[in-house]
Amino acid sequence: MSDLAELFADFRKSEADCDALHAKWYLVAAVALAASSAGDRVPDLYRLAVADLPLDQEKIVQRRIKEALLKTSILMGLPKALQSLVPLYRCMTEDKVDTYGPRTEALGSAEATKAREERTQQHFDML
């Protein structure tokens, strides 16, 4: 375990000048862990990546890791991606899970509803 933690720390040092929101080291490491069937170690990587970050930035890092795993699942297979995503979700408390989604956030706004209705009307007028 300590060897892997040291490897993560070395990856982190490689982008020491980059802030956590734009760093790529933890994305590469998360995908490599998932592809090598070591997805149960992704929570350890996540904890290292978000150490000392405020909750809003922690959620952005989480979103980036989940997105990287999902997008590379086409290459490594969905089972391996799920073997990484499930432990990641389980290691977090309910308040730390990132539930943001641009589509779902806009569902409740009156402006988004009006825009959807206008697009729908334009579509049916065109038919």
At 51-108, the pLDDT tens digits run 889 999 999 999 999 999 999 999 999 999 999 999 999 998 888 888 777 666 667 7
Q: In this structure, are 6 and 65 located in the same domain?
A: yes
Contact present, 84 and 72 (Cβ < 8 Å)? no
In angstroms, the Cα distances linking 59 to 54, 114, 117 are: 9, 30, 32
User: How far apart (Å, rounded) are the C-alpha atoms in residues 81 and 69?
Assistant: 6
Q: In this structure, are 91 and 108 located in the same domain?
A: no
Number of domains present in the structure of the chain: 2
Q: In this structure, are 15 and 60 located in the same domain?
A: yes
Q: In this structure, are 88 and 113 located in the same domain?
A: no
Q: Look up the pTM and report it.
A: 0.76
Give the residue from 45, 41, 55 showing the smallest Cα distance to 87.
41
User: How far apart (Å, rounded) are the C-alpha atoms in residues 71 and 74?
Assistant: 7
For residues 16-26, give the mean pLDDT.
83
Give the residue from 93, 8, 34 showing the smallest Cα distance to 59.
93
pLDDT tens for residues 106-118? 677 788 788 888 9
